[in-house]
């Protein structure tokens, strides 16, 4: 029996991350190779022509899983019946702007999008906030969409998680798929704490701790952490554009694990509503190690101690 299509919303779909993520979703990277999708793409009026160009390309690519495309500048039309919402759109921080200036712009954007999701999305919609500051935008969304369960609103720290995996795999010259269970604590910002104290690498002799294999605490406690924290800035410096490809890929990873489950014995990092675990104030959106099963995430309990870094 063919599955019913899942409706996936991408906001800011004509932008860099949007352009990278929509073909990944249409190809099955987010929800699996047998799950048909209907893509809902939203952007602002000045980007309407560009958005239509993206729609044309999606049609031209003839993706077998893609059962329809909605491309619109109307937030209510975009949110109608969506099962998954990937919130990429937001006001970008420009030169000379303070973070608070970006936040005030994003309040109005996320207030409007939250109320549109509240009125039009599927009752069990899962929301992933990508646009920065992601944790703050997720809180705004929750505030103005009170009927969406707080467990259904998350923000992206999987990009930082994947960056940490990548750095370890490069350092040890091992396949990235053999490294697991790094943790990102905190926010998607330069204040985050990438933690490898429980991370392992699968070797021919079994699973070995990352700290033991790297055998260089100086590197792990300094350069590794700052490289992960500052990776986005380094990519902007190199590309003159932000890290759209890796952000899109990690957003797909985040949703895939949330919907389809994490592998046994593994956890991933997600920005979620704190329940007070590890002494983090309840109600904050904070990155924890989580496992996912049957479409629900759970914070991994009792295994770790938060150090002074957090």
188 belongs to the catalytic site: yes
**How many other CB atoms are there within 10 angstroms of residue 291's CB atom?**
19
Torsion of CA 185, 272, 145, 92, to 10 degrees: 40
Residue 71 has phi, psi (to 5 degrees) of -120, 115
Q: Which residues are CB-neighbours of 283 under 8 A, at least 6 positions away?
A: 273, 274
Contact 307, 298 (CB under 8 A): no
Q: Whole-angstrom Cα distance, residue 310 to residue 301?
A: 16
Adjacent-strand bridge partners of 115: none
Contact 257, 293 (CB under 8 A): no
Q: Tell me the residue length of the chain.
A: 310
C-alpha separations of 17 from 73, 197, 226, 252 in Å = 17, 31, 24, 11
Instruction: Determine which helix (DSSP H) or strand (DSSP E) holds 111, and give its type and residue range.
Output: helix 99-120
- Among the listed residues 40, 161, 188, 254, the single catalytic one is 188
Burial class (CB in 10 A: 0-12, 13-18, 19+), 94: exposed
Burial class (CB in 10 A: 0-12, 13-18, 19+), 54: buried
Helix (H, G, I), strand (E, B) or coil at 129: strand
Q: Which residues are catalytic?
A: 188
């Amino acid at each position: 029996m063919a599955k019913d299509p899942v409706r996936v919303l991408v906001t800011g779909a004509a932008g860099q991350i949007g352009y990278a993520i929509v073909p990944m979703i249409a190809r099955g990277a987010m929800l699996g190779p047998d799950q048909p999708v209907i893509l809902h793409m939203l952007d602002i009026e000045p980007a309407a022509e560009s958005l239509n160009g993206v729609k044309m390309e999606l049609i031209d690519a003839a993706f077998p899983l893609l059962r329809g495309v909605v491309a619109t500048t109307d937030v209510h039309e975009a949110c109608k019946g969506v099962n998954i919402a990937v919130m990429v759109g937001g006001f970008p921080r420009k030169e000379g702007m303070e973070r608070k200036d970006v936040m005030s712009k994003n309040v109005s954007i996320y207030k409007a999008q939250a109320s549109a999701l509240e009125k039009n999305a599927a009752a069990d919609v899962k929301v992933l906030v990508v646009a920065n500051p992601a944790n703050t935008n997720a809180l705004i969304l929750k505030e103005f969409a009170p009927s969406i369960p707080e467990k259904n609103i998350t923000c992206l720290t999987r990009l930082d998680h994947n960056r940490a995996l990548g750095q370890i795999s490069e350092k040890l010259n091992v396949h990235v798929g053999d490294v697991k269970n790094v943790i990102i604590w905190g926010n998607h910002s330069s204040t985050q704490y990438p933690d490898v104290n429980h991370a392992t690498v699968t070797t021919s002799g079994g699973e070995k701790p990352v700290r033991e294999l790297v055998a260089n605490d100086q590197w792990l406690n300094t350069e590794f952490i700052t490289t992960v924290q500052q990776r986005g800035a380094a990519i902007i410096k190199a590309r003159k554009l932000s890290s759209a490809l890796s952000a899109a890929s990690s957003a797909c990873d985040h949703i895939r694990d949330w919907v389809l489950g994490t592998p046994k014995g593994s956890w991933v990092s997600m920005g979620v509503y704190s329940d007070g675990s590890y002494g983090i104030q309840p109600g904050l959106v904070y990155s924890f190690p989580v496992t996912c099963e049957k479409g629900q995430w759970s914070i991994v309990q009792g295994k770790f101690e938060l150090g002074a870094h957090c």
